[in-house]
Structure formats: structure tokens, C-alpha cells
Amino acid sequence: MKVLISGSTGIVGTHIIDTISSDSSEIWRLVRSQTQGENLILWDPKGGYVENPNLLEGFDAVIHLSGENIVSRWTEKKKNSIRQSRILSTRYLVNVFSGLRNPPKTFICASAIGYYGDRGEEVLNEDSVPGSGFLSDTCCEWENEANKASDLGIRVVNLRIGIVLSSRGGILGSLLLPFKMGLGGVIGSGDQYISWISIEDLPRIIVYILEHEGIRGPVNAVSPNPVNNREFTTKLALVLQKPAWFSVPSFAIRLFFGEMGRCTMLASSMVFPEKLLSSGYEFLHEDLDSALKNIVLV
């Protein structure tokens, strides 16, 4: 299988490359700057440039993961950059596909469970309506751009990724040091639900989607067992054998992180992977204990 990946240097991208490469697939990467390595295609989605469009001919799949990190205080400039890094790059790729004689058979475009917004304890699956607010609006536009590839006869999958658990970055990576120091604790009320996915399961899900052509449209890339923040805190502290007596009140999150904190750290989304389960996918880590022990203790 010949696969092209954007965003390949991130936490998710590097794990995907390792997983797919072990299957003897031919991996190419879209990169934004010249670097050493084989099978590289230089591109600038903001500038509407790709080094040689003909190199995009004949791929079995394109996996699009590019997007600016959302973890920082959201100024209007930052929000515009987050939005454009996702929407413009996706729009540009689809435009390139439209000019190919042999476009990719499958287009897997990253999205996020931010699509659903802050929904409390509402049970959410791929058929649930979008939420409201900046993240929801961005995800809707992002997916709309990706879905235009279906007009070209390309199978489109909108991968709504949950909170990725990895020791190398993301939320868990940032929590490990304070928790190891005994400074961990509940954020806000602790009632907000976290829909998570192990860094080992996410690449396996993508490979599974590539192998099952009947899967298309939105796919929730989350564990079937979301937990609230209080339970997450308790389990992480137990795995690390550290106390978690501290807490961060909601007003402090709003004060220091503004809209970003309200929409991510304090928001609640109980999302379930209905499509993956109904199609037969078997999770490597479907419960939080298993995932944390594997990630933190290995």
C-alpha cells in the first residue's frame, strides 16, 4: 500500500509511520521544509504550493494530520491561525486531488471530538449533531472541506480524535511531572468527561480503516470507556503511586487560560466509537487502567 502523510513529525504522525511501515507499506511524507530523508514532498498549504503535484499521483491513501497546536491562550490571531492551518491545508489538498489523473482512493482527514462541544453527560456518537463555539465551528468547516473529495470518487473518513494519551506530549505528557511530584489533582469540578484514546490504538485504528473500505464519513477515534476528570485523576495517581490532593478551581482555569481552558480543560464530552465497535475493531487498550499502565510504566 502506498500512503502519503502530512503532519508526520507530530506525536500521532510518528506513531502512525512506525505502525504502517511495519506492514511493509510505501510511506511518503508531505513536509514544509527541506529535510533529509526519502519519499519527501515539499509543500506550503498556506501559499498554495506543492513541489511537484505529479508526485501525488497513484496513492492508495492520504492521511492528513496537519494543524497548529491549540494549547495556548486563544487570541483572535491564534484562533485564526488554528482555523486556517486546518481548513486551508485541507482545501488545498482536495484542489490538488481534483487535478490528478489518478487521485488517492482514500482520504483520512483528522478532525476532533471538539466537533461535539461541551455536552455534559450526553451520550455522543457519530450521528450526534455538532456543538457550538469555536472548536465545533472549526471542526465542521474542516470536515466540510475534506468531504468535497468525495465528489472526486474518493472515500473520505473524518477521524474525530479524542484526547490522545502519550507520555511524549499532549495532556498526559504535561501532567506527568506534577503528578510524579505529588502535585496532581482534579481540574474544575472534576465532573467533566474526558473521551480519550491510547497512542497505541490510534495508529491501529487508522490501519484498520485503510483495510476496511466500507468505513467512511465521521469516525470517533476514542476508547469505549470515557471517564470524568475526577476518575482520570484518581487512576493516574494510583498508577504513579502518588497522592493527588491538589485541585485547580474553574475560575483559575478561566483566568489563566481564557477561552482555551473553558473549551478544553473544563468542557465535557462523553463520546463513544460506535462505528469502530459495530465494524469489529478490537481495542488494544479499551480501559484507562490498561492504557495508563502501558504508557506510564513502560
Report percent pLDDT > 90 for the chain. 79
Grid cell in block for residue 99? 487535478
User: Is 185 part of a structural domain of the chain?
Assistant: no
User: Is 146 part of a structural domain of the chain?
Assistant: yes
pTM for the complete prediction?
0.94
Q: What is the pLDDT along the chain (298 residues), one digit of tens a residue?
A: 999 999 988 888 998 898 888 777 899 999 988 776 789 999 998 888 898 899 999 999 999 998 888 988 999 999 999 999 999 999 999 999 999 999 999 999 999 999 999 999 999 999 999 999 999 999 999 999 999 999 999 999 999 999 999 988 788 888 899 999 999 999 999 999 999 999 999 999 999 999 999 999 999 999 999 999 999 999 999 999 999 999 999 999 999 899 999 999 999 999 999 999 999 999 999 999 999 999 987 6
How many domains, in total, are found in the chain? 1
State the virtual CA torsion across 165, 168, 171, 177 in degrees, nearest 10.
120
User: Is 188 part of a structural domain of the chain?
Assistant: no
User: Is 115 part of a structural domain of the chain?
Assistant: yes
Query: How far is Cα of residue 52 from the mean position of the Cα atoms in its chain?
Result: 28
User: Is 90 part of a structural domain of the chain?
Assistant: yes
> Cα(97)–Cα(113) distance, rounded to whole angstroms?
26
> Cα(145)–Cα(134) distance, rounded to whole angstroms?
17
Q: Hey, is 32 helix, strand or coil? A: coil
User: Is 139 part of a structural domain of the chain?
Assistant: yes
CATH value at residue 62? 3.40.50.720
Q: Return the pLDDT at 55.
A: 93
Question: What is the domain range of residue 22?
Answer: 2-163+196-222
User: Is 62 part of a structural domain of the chain?
Assistant: yes
- Cα dihedral 138, 144, 145, 149 sign: positive
Residue pair 259/109 in contact (Cβ under 8 Å)? The answer is: no
User: Is 230 part of a structural domain of the chain?
Assistant: no
